[in-house]
Structure 1
């Protein structure tokens, strides 16, 4: 699984405007990071993803959380037991 995760992170990191990618498990353990992603953000990322899932419990797909600032944005999505955060620059 590690090689597959690394491959997907590398592919995502190469997309235009992506400054960092961070993957975490549902407990907040950082499973991998590329670029300038703050590894200490893995816990809050897992929590935000779980809370968004609770808000949209009736939906069959997990929601995407978008946090925007003047410097850029962070997109957070869960799939199975993983949460992925993509940090984008403006």
Structure 2
């Protein structure tokens, strides 16, 4: 399983506008990370997603999006929690 997650992380970070990605287990332990993201943030990101799930417990897993002027951070759970940080190109 570790090799599969490493491949997904490598494929994800290879995308042009993605600056970081991370995966974590249900306990918030970092399984893997690539790019400019702290592995220590995995617990906080999983906890944030768990709290968002409490807003509508009957619906499916939420997608949490945190956005700054330069980046967008997407957090989603599908077995493991995945985090993608994407550079927002707003030059247009």
Task: Please give the TM-score of this superposition, normalised by the length of structure 2.
Answer: 0.88
Give 5+ residue unaligned stretches, structure 1: none
Report if aligned partners of 1:56, 1:62 keep a CA contact under 8 Å in 2: no
Q: For 1:34-87, what per-residue CA distance to the aligned partner results, in whole angstroms no more than 9, with x for missing partners?
A: 01111111111110111112222111x21110000112110000112x111101
Which residue in the other structure is 1:3 paired with? 3
Aligned counterparts, 1:9-88, within 5 A: 9-59=9-59, 61-80=60-79, 82-88=80-86
Within 2, Cα distance between the matches of 1:12 and 1:52? 24
Q: Following superposition, which runs of at least 4 residues in structure 1 exceed 3 angstroms of deviation?
A: none
- 3-state SS of paired residue (1:50): helix
Within 2, Cα distance between the matches of 1:42 and 1:15? 21
Report if aligned partners of 1:20, 1:87 keep a CA contact under 8 Å in 2: yes
Within 2, Cα distance between the matches of 1:23 and 1:56? 23
Deviation at 1:89, TM superposition (A): 1.2
Within 2, Cα distance between the matches of 1:84 and 1:13? 12
RMSD: 1.1
Give 5+ residue unaligned stretches, structure 2: none
